[in-house]
Amino acid sequence: MHDTTAMLIELGAIILALGLLGRFAGRVGFSPIPLYLLAGLAFGQGGILPLRASEEFVATGAEIGVILLLLLLGLEYSASELVTTLKTQYPSGAVDFVLNAAPGAAMALLLGWGPVAAVALAGVTWISSSGVIAKVLGDLRRLGNRETPVILGVLVLEDLAMAVYLPILTALLAGAGLAGGAVTLLISLGTVGAVLYVALRHGRLVSRAVSSDNAEMLLLAVLGLTLLVAGLAQQLHVSAAVGAFLVGIALSGEVAEGASSLLTPLRDLFAAVFFVFFGLHTDPAAIPPVLLPALALAAVTTLTKIATGYWASRRAGISPRGRWRAGGTLVARGEFSIVIAGLAVGAEPRIGPLATAYVLILVILGPLAARWTEPLARRATHRRPRPAPVPAKCGSPVSRTG
């Protein structure tokens, strides 16, 4: 009875604090993610007031938060959109991967953390935050800009790549050998291909099977299907998050729209719990030693993301001003960097503090980069000194007329 009472008190305090922090973040115009992480640091191991009774419940809520994050992400895309984006923008995705995954992998190797940690930290620095970037585009009223489809195309490719990357990372973290990792990858690719085929050819049948005019029935059917598929995917060592993402892709039309509106509040609640949970398991005392590497990574990957957006927009024929805006908008990291780090902390605990510091820096810097990269680039271009005139040679037309 005492444990239940303590759990209810702690959960109430956590959810109330999240609500207040989210409201404050909305008023100042920033993402609430850094505040959620700081709250987790304050109430976790080594924090001000460690929580004990509700830890198991918060861990379960965090798992659900990751699943709902990926489900809602999948609901935003149709299978045909993913295939079209993959065909037309795969060079941009390749440049994005090389420029932004390499610094994370290099940093892990320089710190002596080993190849598995290098793969994990590469994912942390590679993938941008779809949630933060979508909010920034709306706040800056850039949804109709010419460069916005390029930005969204890069994000779609990153999200689709997660369906391959996460199973590989999971296999490596589990200690699977080369053969086991290859089998996991083949299962993952086969599953993704099968789901895309079903979504393209029979998406209406899948949507019709879970469709309902009753909001309660629709919510139960979609949520139940997602948790079931996520659990089966986890059983196959693919990744529960990938399973949820594939369910989102398979659903389309009115079902996807209805499920998205019903599940968004749940997603926001459990995603906030996930960020708190990650902070709870990060010792604040472990952050100062990795602050310099985090700052270095943030500086390098800010420049590489700007270069990615600039190159992708230039390839699409966007004007120079739009290229700089696209690059600055892609800087923010957030939820998926923390998801990857959360998977990896069991094998390499030092990734947690570094990822926390890195995300805290870039989730704050990202909106600022989106707003100021293009004006700063334009000002620097205008201030560039003009080349001095070349003196006329003797015997030239100028010398004869002068």
51 Cβ contact list (under 8 Å, min separation 6)? 10, 14, 43, 44, 58, 280
CATH top-level class of 61-379: mainly alpha
Burial of 200 per CB tally in 10 Å (0-12, 13-18, 19+): middle
Tell me what pLDDT residue 312 has: 94
Tell me what pLDDT residue 177 has: 56
Mean pLDDT of 360-387: 81
Mean pLDDT of 39-46: 74
Higher pLDDT pick, 372 / 271? 372
9 backbone dihedrals φ, ψ, rounded to 5°: -65, -45
Furthest-apart CA atoms within the chain: distance in Å: 104
Q: Percentage of the chain with pLDDT > 90?
A: 20
Identify the CA nearest to 22 among candidates 8, 9, 39: 39
Higher pLDDT pick, 313 / 70? 313
* Per-residue pLDDT reduced to its tens digit, 280-291: 777 788 889 999
If phi > 0 it is left, if psi is from -120 to 50 it is alpha, else beta; for residue 157 that is alpha
Please report, as a single letter, which amino acid is at residue 267: R
Least confident of 84-93, 199-208, 264-273: 199-208
Token duo for residue 321? 């001003």
Contact present, 104 and 124 (Cβ < 8 Å): yes
Determine the Cα angle at 179 with ends 242 and 119, to 5°: 55
Burial of 17 per CB tally in 10 Å (0-12, 13-18, 19+): middle
Mean pLDDT of 107-134: 90
Burial of 280 per CB tally in 10 Å (0-12, 13-18, 19+): buried
Least confident of 291-300, 324-333, 366-375: 366-375
Least confident of 97-106, 174-183, 336-345: 174-183
Residue 397 pLDDT > 50:
no
Residue 384 pLDDT > 60:
no
d(C-alpha 151, C-alpha 66), whole Å: 23
Higher pLDDT pick, 324 / 214? 324
Length of the chain as a residue count: 402
* Per-residue pLDDT reduced to its tens digit, 308-361: 999 999 998 999 999 999 999 999 998 788 888 888 887 788 898 999 899 889
Q: In sequence order, which ranges of 211-239 are alpha helices (DSSP H)? A: 215-235
204 backbone dihedrals φ, ψ, rounded to 5°: -65, -35
Contact present, 74 and 245 (Cβ < 8 Å): yes
Contact present, 55 and 8 (Cβ < 8 Å): no
b/e string for 333-346 if b means 16 or more Cβ within 10 A?
A: bbbbbbbbbbbbbe
